[in-house]
Amino acid sequence: MKLSHKIFILHSLGLAVCVAPPIITTLEYFPLWFKQTETAVSAFSAILILLCCLPFIKQLKAYFKGTPASWVIWLVIYVLVTVFSKLAKGVETVAFIGLLSNLLGGCIFRIEKHLKHKEGVN
């Protein structure tokens, strides 16, 4: 397998690992649709899903290059929720899953970066 194929696979895997687990956890704890009606979207769920997609947003926008890594944001959310609110157990779990999956994804991205450097690709 070519090195460029490995880089693409690692990049895709890293994004999937960073985004999928937090989204799945969010939807488990906070359904996107209210039970009373099928047309009302939960704003809280939508905001959490947007946070879960930060790695994709960072890939799409060069503007985010100066912001903290997504795992730092998840760590801050996790610490704040843990310290200040025992009532929000679901949010704590989502933030923790986001932290873990983004740390793992970050490791995958490091491997990808190493392979890119080895191949001489920017």
Q: What is the pLDDT of residue 56?
A: 75
What is each CA distance from 15 to 12, 26, 29, 90, in whole angstroms? 5, 17, 22, 23
pTM of the predicted protein model: 0.53
Would you call 87 helix, strand, or coil by DSSP? Answer: coil
Name residues whose C-beta falls within 8 Å of residue 79's C-beta, 6 or more positions apart in sequence: none
Q: DSSP readout, 15-27?
A: HHHHHHHHHHHHH
Check the CA dihedral 77-83-88-92 and report its sign. Answer: positive
Q: What is the pLDDT of residue 100?
A: 92
Q: What are phi and psi of 29, to 5 degrees?
A: -90, -30
What's the token pair of residue 27? 């939807």
- Total domains in the chain come to 1
| Domain coverage including residue 62 | 3-119
Per-residue confidence in pLDDT tens, the chain, 122 aa = 788 888 888 888 888 888 889 888 888 887 777 666 655 667 777 788 878 877 776 776 654 465 667 777 787 778 777 766 655 667 788 888 889 999 999 899 899 988 988 887 66
